[in-house]
Structure 1
Amino acid sequence: METLLDDDLAWRRAELVALARELERHERSAPDAPLTRALARGAVALLYAHWEGYAKEACEGYLNYVAVRKLRYEELSDGFLVTALKSLMRRLDAGDEAATLDTLDLVRRPGVARARVPKKAVINTRSNLRHDVLIEMFTAIGLPIDDFVTRKHFIDRSLCDARNEIAHGRLYFPESSTFEKSCDDVLDMLTRLRTTIIDHARDALYRYSATQKDVAEVQSA
């Protein structure tokens, strides 16, 4: 999984850096040219695409990494446990006979029952990966939001709103210096996400532990 995350981030980084340099070159030589404006607008749209694309791919990769381990319900961290139980409830509501058997197994053999962590319909960017959507995604797979708490304005305004302005055909484009700063911020967020997921996988933080129990007791006290 680490190789996949690194490879996916590498080509996105190379593309964004190359685009930032090209935009800066055109802005120096012909700041008011239609091509310069078009490059700036395209850069904003592409920056958002890499933000949503990598976040979705990375979170889905981690979700699949945990799902294939077929852990017992009692072994899952809180985020994955809630996700698995919600999936089980949806399957019951849909009349899935296998879900009925899984529920009986969970109730009668709580220490043995294997959880079915769903691989689909969990990581949903809603085609507009705003801060609140990011929190929902992270919560579903037990990732901390700490590194992104102060990024709400940047994510919602500089990424999502700016992309939407262009997608809806409005005349909006940033200066190259603004794009370069936004590009650095996005790559920093993606790198932090990559590191967090790798650390969680390496340290098996998708598993429930006594440490997590102690933290939960302190928070509820």
Structure 2
Amino acid sequence: MAVRTIGELEDRLDNALAWRRIELQTLKSQIRAAYKKSAHSPLTRALARSGIALLYAHWEGYVKESCQAYVDYVAKRRLRVGELNDGLLKVVLDQLNRRSVSGDESAMLALMEAVRTPDNARARIPRDTIVDTKSNLRSTVLSDILQCIGFDADTFLTKNNLIDKTLCDGRNAIAHGRDYYPNPDEFDSLHDEIMSMLADIRSTIMLHAQEQRYRRI
């Protein structure tokens, strides 16, 4: 579904977050209940391990879906090259340069137009390639995505170790069949941190859209 207005963008972000929140909260309750009955039963272990895998899935899924919705929204603004913020400008020019180097004559002409008349040249935002989570959304990948769309990635720098070590390494250990088993307190803490970060992503996107920060200051 196209994202044309602020209202549609907000609805997309809220809907994508709401069902994830419900699913994770339900699993969180089940893990806690199973642990109280038997701390080390196969069911408790299975729920805890699946909880980490699902936390990662929703972390990557929401970041990808919400940032893509923002990119789609910005693309609908039909901006000129000279209007773009630095992050988006770099992406647009880099994409044109890559295509022109590969022999795409139309990209070369578009690049020349962007250089000569940036206030007239239409910005060709590569909507399908900006938000690339690389199937392993570590802090460096998150930073790259946020910078590409003109966001300040420093907000999430304090969470690097949480993202890389606790979440991504934990998920990878489970996905690769290793015996990683978080206790409920560890899961609860990670759950709360990830949900807070997803809420921050949502707030950041809405702020940039409402204040038109996709435009050059």
Matched, 1:65 2:73: yes
Q: Which of residues 135, 141, 149 in structure 1 aligns to 2:149?
A: 141
Which SS does the other structure have where 1:92 is aligned? helix
2:102 aligned to which of 94, 106, 120: 94
How many correspondences in the alignment?
209
* Structure 1 segment 1-221 matched on structure 2, within 5 A: 1-209=9-217
Q: Which moved more, 1:90-99 or 1:133-142?
A: 90-99
Unaligned stretches of 5+ in structure 1? 210-221
Tell me which stretches of 4 or more aligned residues in structure 1 moved more than 4 Å.
Answer: none
The CA deviation string for residues 99-156 of structure 1, in whole angstroms up to 9 with x for no partner, is 1221232233232111101111211111111111111111100111232111011000
1:90 CA displacement: 1.5
**Equivalent pair of 2:21/2:195 in contact (CA under 8 Å):** yes
Question: Residue 139 of structure 1 aligns to which amino acid in structure 2?
Answer: Q
Q: How far apart, CA to CA, are the structure 2 residues paired with 1:5 and 1:122?
A: 18
Residues 14-44 of structure 1, C-alpha deviations (whole Å, 9 max, x = no match) = 0010000000000001212111101110001
Q: Aligned Cα RMSD in Å?
A: 1.0
Give 2:184's aligned amino acid: S
**Please, what TM-score do these two structures have when normalized by structure 2?**
0.93
Post-superposition offset of 1:64: 1.2
Give per-residue Cα distances to partners, 1:17-75, cap 9 Å, x unaligned. Answer: 00000000000012121111011100010001111110111111111111122211110
Q: What letter matches 1:36 in structure 2?
A: T
State the match for 1:215 in structure 2.
none
TM-score, normalising length: structure 1 = 0.92
Return the letter of the residue paired with 2:40. D
Deviation at 1:197, TM superposition (A): 0.2
% identical equivalent positions? 47
Gaps of 5+ in 2: 1-8
